Amino acid sequence: MIKLTAFRWVPPFAQGLARDLRVRWALEEAGLPYEEWLIGPEDQASAGYRALQPFGQVPAIETGGLKLFESGAIVLHIAEGCDALSPGDAEGQARMKAWMFAALNSVEPAVQNLAAIDLFYAGEGWASERRPAAAEAVHKRLDAVEQWLGGRDYLEGRFTAGDLLMTTVLRILRHTDLVSGRPILKAYQERCEARPAFRKALADHLKPFQAAAA
């Protein structure tokens, strides 16, 4: 059985965004059962957990003799054995990987920078000065994704792990209208999030936080 680490609690602004959601979604698409290992700050700092996840973050997985960390690496590992996430041909698989890297390396850094300004440093004077440039950087990345999509339903014509990761990156902007104000991107995100595997993964991701609030 795959064991997946996730937080037992995060602040409301991070609920629905923590990166275990990516792995849960991939596991649901692949039809792979798993059990969650809920952790807190004390676990993150422990030597035992650092042996699994060197940076003390989530997610990480254990399965058989494999210990793997970083959400992108885990999703790729799952996708490589899953028809629902990966094309069957070598070229299609290479394109899938390109979009996975694009989501995490070309789009997410700009998105995360803006989110940090808005959610962590909104009261700082320097934040208001830096925000326009940060927002412009996000617009440029979103312009490129939107232009690529054009009339496509998905980045490569069919749903892949690249779409899975891109969707989870776009979700980080939910506190803004940067995605919702773009009809193509909005429809794309909604299309991906309408998948039953996403709905199940999101519900399971939120359960610990709902239980903590009860």
pLDDT in tens, the chain (214 residues): 999 999 999 999 999 999 999 999 999 999 999 999 999 999 999 999 999 999 999 999 999 999 999 999 999 999 998 999 999 999 999 999 999 999 999 999 999 999 999 999 988 889 999 999 999 999 999 999 999 999 999 999 999 999 999 999 999 999 999 999 999 999 999 999 999 999 999 999 999 999 988 7
Domains of the chain plus CATH, in order, are 2-83 (3.40.30.10), 90-196 (1.20.1050.10)
- Radius of gyration of the CA atoms of the chain, in A: 17
Are 36 and 206 in contact, with CB atoms under 8 Å apart? no
